[in-house]
């Protein structure tokens, strides 16, 4: 009897351990991105700065390198999240700032083979406040941020409402929760193209920190529309942090 009880206790302990391991594994797996962001924010010298890419002092990134870093930050901000870490900022009819989370359907930093402008596309409801705000002032900025890498990308430009046919071609079933009637003619559903002419990058993970500049300015790309390319805005001597 005692031997059977010991065996049962042992089996019970194994079952409890297996169940506990499953629960812990599930919780950690489901919250992996959140845990990484927490550790990166509170212990950056260990989880971010200790693994950041090395960059020689005074060595400027090329436009191509900065574009690749910006794209990497955008992808990292979207990883493991349905909507990702993205905000859009604009001004209302009274000139007051407005910021809200947004989930762009697409974002292209380089345009395409037909030399179209770099752009992001997002949808909205014609009854929303930002729709009326964009009618009075089309200027906007998108910000993607990666908490784990202490990195962000800011895109500055203007929005333009797309034609109804183009908007219909972008319709996805998941949008039904925001616009119940769908992409009907004259309905509430519409889409915007956001054309940006400026990209600003800050990234501790990639060794591009504002602390390396006297004025804390971000690393910046400006769009040359005539040449259809991004131009890197080099650091001036006044921006460089002197050796202490």
pLDDT band of residue 16 (cuts 50, 70, 90) is low
Read off the tokens for 24.
Answer: 């812990």
pLDDT of the residue at 48: 47
What pLDDT does residue 58 have? 64
Question: Concatenated DSSP letters for 37-91?
Answer: HHHHHH-HHHHTGGGPPP--TTPPPPHHHHHHHHHHHHHHHHTT-SS-SEEEEEE
Q: What's the mean per-residue pLDDT of the chain?
A: 78
Give pLDDT tens digits for 72-127.
999 888 775 545 689 999 999 999 999 999 988 888 898 665 556 789 999 998 99
| Strand pairing class (119-125; 106-108) | antiparallel
**What pLDDT does residue 239 have?**
52
Positive/negative CA dihedral, 119, 124, 126, 132: negative
Q: Is 64:227 a contact under the CB 8 Å cutoff?
A: no
**In this structure, CATH architecture of domain 57-233:** Roll (2.30)
- Whether residue 165 has pLDDT greater than 80: yes
């Amino acid at each position: 009897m005692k031997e059977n009880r010991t065996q049962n206790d042992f089996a019970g302990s194994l079952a409890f351990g297996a169940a506990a391991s499953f629960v812990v594994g599930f919780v950690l797996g489901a919250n992996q991105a959140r845990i990484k962001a927490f550790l990166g924010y509170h212990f950056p010298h260990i989880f971010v700065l200790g693994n950041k890419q090395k960059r020689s002092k005074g060595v400027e990134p090329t436009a191509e390198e900065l574009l690749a870093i910006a794209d990497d930050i955008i992808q990292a901000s979207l990883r493991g999240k349905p909507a990702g870490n993205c905000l859009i900022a604009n001004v209302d009819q009274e000139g007051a700032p407005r910021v809200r989370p947004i989930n762009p359907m697409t974002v292209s930093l380089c345009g395409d083979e037909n030399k179209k402008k770099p752009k992001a596309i997002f949808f909205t409801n014609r009854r929303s406040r930002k729709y009326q705000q964009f009618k009075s002032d089309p200027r906007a900025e998108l910000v993607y941020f990666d908490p784990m890498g202490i990195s962000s990308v800011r895109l500055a430009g203007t929005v333009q409402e797309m034609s109804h046919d183009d908007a219909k071609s972008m319709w996805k079933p998941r949008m039904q929760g925001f616009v119940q009637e769908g992409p009907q003619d004259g309905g509430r559903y519409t889409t915007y193209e956001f054309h940006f002419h400026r990209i600003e990058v800050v990234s501790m993970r990639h060794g591009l920190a504002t602390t390396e500049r006297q004025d804390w300015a971000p690393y910046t790309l400006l769009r040359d529309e005539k040449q259809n390319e991004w131009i890197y805005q080099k650091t001036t001597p006044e921006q460089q942090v002197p050796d202490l």
